[in-house]
């Protein structure tokens, strides 16, 4: 299994001829999550063959237009396509009046339920959880309330070695206990250690999405050890005053966060249209954090699960 991120939009504020505003699709444990929904999101989903029907949760970081203007067109298209399944939009409560306005005036015949699941902007909170994945909010520092998201896989049960089951004739109830970490005591009273009975555990994967924010070192505690970190890098460090004044980060600041968080890989995006050459962003970030990549629309980044060797 693996975790993958498809970048649908990588521009800040304005769409350009090469970049759409912010949106991403995360695939994790066969679940598809849409993160932010800038203008043109549905066009990009079609372009990159991402299934509308597999999207059941949308996570909105904040209510600036370049992160939500695509939401209402996407809802309309889902309706025209005959969707029946509930769609949950995770966002700050201030989205509710706009969403209700849309449903009242443009979506009076919506064929599927759209549920707003509000979360607080100023504190960390688990906002989604099932048997496979947990999603936690990360309070950020922007001109309006803004949140990042941390997606973490849950640990899988251990895989027991088939040859041990056969040779020791382990009964089924004991197999379940072993998968959950227990040692095995045979009918003859002999103890077999769990690590000798099972394969090395699979390391759960994680992805963090840090949307619009001024430099905020405090978030590194939440991000510690994340496999892939996406962090906005709207400006180059020569414009760090402008970044601070507008509630954004520079490439150097994004790299500093990745370094302090001990991230596996850093993705930077949300580039200001004022810059024509994003290679300067990569050079700046790599001066602090080598494993940095600038995202382009259509890029797919993947990390595969690996065994934890003890």
Do both 217 and 127 map to the same domain? yes
Confidence of residue 169 (pLDDT cuts 50, 70, 90): confident
Q: What is the mean pLDDT of residues 10-35?
A: 95
- Give me the pLDDT at residue 161, please: 86
Asked whether residue 222 is domain-assigned, the answer is yes
| Residue where one domain finishes, among candidates 146, 175, 197 | 197
Taking alpha carbons only, the member of 171, 169, 128 closest to residue 150 is 128
Do both 168 and 67 map to the same domain? no
Confidence of residue 92 (pLDDT cuts 50, 70, 90): very high
Tokens of 295: 């995202």
Confidence of residue 171 (pLDDT cuts 50, 70, 90): confident
Do both 140 and 186 map to the same domain? no
Do both 175 and 283 map to the same domain? no
Do both 120 and 206 map to the same domain? yes
Do both 102 and 42 map to the same domain? yes
Asked whether residue 310 is domain-assigned, the answer is no
Do both 175 and 253 map to the same domain? no
Do both 236 and 118 map to the same domain? yes
Asked whether residue 236 is domain-assigned, the answer is yes
Do both 141 and 170 map to the same domain? no
Containing domain of residue 186, as a range? Answer: 162-197
DSSP H helices in 154-217: 162-168, 172-179, 194-197
Average pLDDT of the chain is 93
Do both 95 and 205 map to the same domain? yes
pLDDT tens-place string over residues 257-289: 999 999 999 999 999 999 999 999 999 999 999
Percent of the residues in the chain that have a pLDDT greater than 90, as a whole number: 76
Asked whether residue 285 is domain-assigned, the answer is yes
Does residue 147 carry a pLDDT above 90?
yes
CATH number at residue 62: 3.60.15.10
Asked whether residue 286 is domain-assigned, the answer is yes
Per the rule left: phi > 0, alpha: psi between -120 and 50, beta: everything else, 293 is beta
Does residue 58 carry a pLDDT above 90?
yes
Do both 226 and 83 map to the same domain? yes
Question: Three-state SS for 7?
Answer: strand
Asked whether residue 309 is domain-assigned, the answer is no
Asked whether residue 280 is domain-assigned, the answer is yes
Lowest mean pLDDT among 45-49, 97-101, 144-148, 229-233: 97-101
Instruction: Work out the number of other CB atoms within 10 angstroms of the CB of residue 47.
Output: 13
Do both 82 and 28 map to the same domain? yes
Confidence of residue 307 (pLDDT cuts 50, 70, 90): low
Q: Which of the residues are catalytic? A: 66
d(CA 153, CA 150): 10
Percent of the residues in the chain that have a pLDDT greater than 70, as a whole number: 97
Number of domains in the chain: 2
Instruction: Work out the number of other CB atoms within 10 angstroms of the CB of residue 280.
Output: 15
Asked whether residue 255 is domain-assigned, the answer is yes
Lowest mean pLDDT among 136-145, 176-185, 284-293, 295-304: 176-185
């Amino acid at each position: 299994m693996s975790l993958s991120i498809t970048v649908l939009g990588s521009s800040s504020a304005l769409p350009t001829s090469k970049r759409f505003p912010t949106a991403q699709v995360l695939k994790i444990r066969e679940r598809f999550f849409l993160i932010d929904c800038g203008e043109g999101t549905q066009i990009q989903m079609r372009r990159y063959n991402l299934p509308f029907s597999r999207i059941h949760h949308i996570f909105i970081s904040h209510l600036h237009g370049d992160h939500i203007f695509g939401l209402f067109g996407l809802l309309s298209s889902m309706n025209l396509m005959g969707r029946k399944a509930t769609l949950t939009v995770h966002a700050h409560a201030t989205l509710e009046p706009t969403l209700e306005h849309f449903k009242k005036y443009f979506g009076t015949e919506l064929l599927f339920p759209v549920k707003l699941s509000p979360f607080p902007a100023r504190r960390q909170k688990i906002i989604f959880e099932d048997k496979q994945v947990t999603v936690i909010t990360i309070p950020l520092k922007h001109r309006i309330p803004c949140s990042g998201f941390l997606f973490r896989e849950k640990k899988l049960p251990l895989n027991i070695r088939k040859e041990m089951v056969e040779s020791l004739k382990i009964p089924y109830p004991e197999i379940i206990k072993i998968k959950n970490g227990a040692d095995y005591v045979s009918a003859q009273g002999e103890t077999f250690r769990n690590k000798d009975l099972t394969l090395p555990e699979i390391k759960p994967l994680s992805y963090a999405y840090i949307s619009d924010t001024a430099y905020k070192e405090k978030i590194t505690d939440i991000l510690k050890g994340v496999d892939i970190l996406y962090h906005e890098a709207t400006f180059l460090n020569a414009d760090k005053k402008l970044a601070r004044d507008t509630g954004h980060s520079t490439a150097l600041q994004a790299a500093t966060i990745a370094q302090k968080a001990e991230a596996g890989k850093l993705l930077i995006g949300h580039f200001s249209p004022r810059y024509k050459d994003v290679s300067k962003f990569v050079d700046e970030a790599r001066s602090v954090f080598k494993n940095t990549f600038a995202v382009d629309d259509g890029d797919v980044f993947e990390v595969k699960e690996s065994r934890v060797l003890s």
